[in-house]
Structure 1
């Protein structure tokens, strides 16, 4: 009886947890074999692509069946990094609960305009799908080609890109783009496009360059869909050596979170370009590159929240839009692709160290559009720490439009000068060092803590006072923390 009971218990457990008794493994080496496999696989099955070098292989991973949360359908390299794709090769993903892993794109790229390397859409939309442990290295069109494409084109909903490695893109178009579904008749600037809820994490974004606009590492949305409530989370990514581009990450939608990312030696910064109700916190930015171009945090559009970021060694602060913290004016009659003022911004408990000043600039305007500026209103600048600002203008705080309205409270600085109340000069002996990071103790504003948590409530997040006010050294990533398992960073 005991043996029967144990067997019955095992069967019930398997049923309850949806555990596959036998997952099929199908081995393929060309498109014909793949297409045959796609008609047969069921939830939990694995398609294995044989090791080798392949050219002009357009993989359409759209099985007839869908996976499930516990039993995704998987397409994977036989050995991670040993399936090398070149020429006009692509992967298109269509369906629910699918996973792609272990592929390498490298070498000569002959893709056409708007032909993206990995796209989360095929005949069907991609939902709850994942790309992991894949790399795209120097698989790029030339800048002179004039063609635009992306390494990753994220569409659909609840998709994930993690532990991937991207490097060497030199043609137009960001490395990774989130695009929202805009049905026929969509009116630009409306908020009816569905939220995406994507998760982008633990990826490595290495050297890339493009000499015109459109060379970001990530762009989350477009100006056309910039009122879409995206609810994407971008965290624990390492981004370095992005050259000639002012925006390393460019946000262009609402309700996104950017946290615990590390930026190193880039020519631009972390920019909320369009969109509202976004959060930028816990990020580490080191601008030391020798190119005198690096930027920090740039706040545009109303109702965005920047707190507890640590920025140091920034070199571009004497340039108009590249101060360590830049809070922008809007434009009168702004078009969707222009500028709205950074009204109601909360900029709190950030730390700026050894960076070219001014450290914080408010009401910075972009005159290139030829329109009158609208100064930001009701900006909260609380508890920020400015240590050892350098350069010709080492002021901790500069106002470029007296029409701005703002609250300054409990901000501290170690050198330079300002007449603004709410900034207090402290001596070097007041600096606390811990794990290579500098801190200055100053009062905590409970109202600001509550305001930040009230804004975060839409994401069902509540942070402690320490998480909001004190940078944790563990948030600074090392290269080995991210990227694929088969490339040593």
Structure 2
């Protein structure tokens, strides 16, 4: 047997037997040169990686993913014009830190259309902004299918474009965004400052099945919409919105579910809750406290829609179920027909608002459009005395002191959120 045949046989045998390799690299070119196999691990040397366009290619498996990992989490600094792109299956990037730079126009981190079951974890993008704030790109873009962004830290985006975007195709993508810390983002003075956007108006009637779960959004003030849902069949659950000026908005699309989220406004101006547009949404078991927004930024806002709408329009609300939410000391609990004007004249239809608990000393319902078809039932108002015009479907709780549950006034702890090598915040005070 000659040497070539022997080496080929050895390579095949090693592959079959599950042999894997570790590579330690110091440049994007070295990464590009590798032919990675399932289970292989690429270790990035600690230090500054300046102007490195990392293209992470390969096809791992669910049991044997291919890893691109910092030698020490948080000690690999991608600066200058650096970026990262996933191209393949079952690829995991772990421990990377983007700072002190900006891209040439591409998104900082991209899961390509070829990416499947890829994951970004324990990583951060902080203040990675161009000098020209009108230049638009995102910190993270998810194309492909079944990708995950978890335990990451994003903060300080000042240029146009959402912090993180899920892009749709004609097939559901089933992405997951969980246990991330989204830190302060200043108001950009217009549209395009969302922290998360799922879809676009063009694709808004396609199913996404994206899950946004157990994240923290702290001081995310980029624009009116903190999380903007522009697609169908997504789940937004168990997130904390802390002193963020804006709302979780079901902007386009149908059949979305919002539950288990906590909104803490601490009486900061224009802090808002959940805004409902479209059909068949379910909003339940959320906790909203100390929000000052009204109308479109009420604790729960149900909008009017446009006749003969196009994809970018506000579509009429139909068949919404708003149940078992707790609203404590918010300026406006429910705004019905919010946004009604000379053009938006289609009132919400077949909306059920039931079994909610509101703590307030004013009427819990503000009617912007009294033509709305809304059924209130089984709701409770915790107040010192009943307003003269208490909405039908609300009962005054006859109890000494407040019976509405309140979060621990001392501290909300951010446990298991963000990278394991860096905790952007350990606690947040509920005032």
Fold equivalence (TM over 0.5): yes
Q: Distance in 1 between the 2:340 and 2:192 partners?
A: 18
Determine the structure 2 residue equivalent to 1:403.
371
Is structure 2 residue 416 aligned with structure 1 residue 481?
yes
Asked whether the equivalents of residues 251 and 278 of structure 2 are also in contact (C-alpha less than 8 Å), the reply is: yes
1:248 is displaced (CA, Å) by 0.8
Asked whether the equivalents of residues 340 and 369 of structure 2 are also in contact (C-alpha less than 8 Å), the reply is: no
Structure 1 counterpart of 2:32, from 32, 35, 38: 35
Residue-by-residue CA offset, 1:352-402 (whole Å, 9 max, x unaligned): 001112x111111254xx52410011100101111025xxxx320122222
The 3-state SS of whatever aligns with 1:374 is coil
Q: Distance in 1 between the 2:22 and 2:300 partners?
A: 52
1:443-462 correspondence to structure 2 within 5 Å: none
The 3-state SS of whatever aligns with 1:94 is strand
Question: Structure 2: any 5+ residue segments left out of the alignment?
Answer: 1-14, 426-431
Displaced runs of 4+ in structure 1, greater than 6 A? none
Structure 2 counterpart of 1:257, from 220, 235, 240: 235
Q: How many residues align?
A: 405
Q: Distance in 2 between the 1:45 and 1:289 partners?
A: 51
Structure 1 counterpart of 2:21, from 15, 20, 24: 24
Q: What's the C-alpha RMSD, in Å, of the aligned pairs?
A: 2.0
The 3-state SS of whatever aligns with 1:216 is coil
Determine the structure 2 residue equivalent to 1:134.
123
Determine the structure 2 residue equivalent to 1:169.
157
Point out the structure with the larger helix share.
1
Distance 1:228 1:205, change over 3 A: same
Structure 1 counterpart of 2:301, from 317, 326, 339: 326
Determine the structure 1 residue equivalent to 2:137.
149
Structure 2 counterpart of 1:349, from 300, 321, 324: 324
Asked whether the equivalents of residues 382 and 411 of structure 1 are also in contact (C-alpha less than 8 Å), the reply is: yes
Asked whether the equivalents of residues 229 and 254 of structure 1 are also in contact (C-alpha less than 8 Å), the reply is: yes
TM-score using structure 2 length: 0.90
Distance 1:395 1:89, change over 3 A: same
The 3-state SS of whatever aligns with 2:380 is strand
Q: Distance in 2 between the 1:335 and 1:213 partners?
A: 19
Q: Distance in 2 between the 1:52 and 1:74 partners?
A: 19
Distance 1:366 1:406, change over 3 A: closer
Is structure 2 residue 92 aligned with structure 1 residue 99?
yes
Is structure 2 residue 166 aligned with structure 1 residue 178?
yes
Asked whether the equivalents of residues 363 and 391 of structure 2 are also in contact (C-alpha less than 8 Å), the reply is: no
Q: Distance in 2 between the 1:244 and 1:175 partners?
A: 9
Q: Distance in 2 between the 1:95 and 1:52 partners?
A: 26
Asked whether the equivalents of residues 203 and 231 of structure 2 are also in contact (C-alpha less than 8 Å), the reply is: yes
The 3-state SS of whatever aligns with 1:258 is strand
Residue-by-residue CA offset, 1:118-164 (whole Å, 9 max, x unaligned): 0001xx6101111101100111224x441111111001010000000
Distance 1:93 1:315, change over 3 A: same
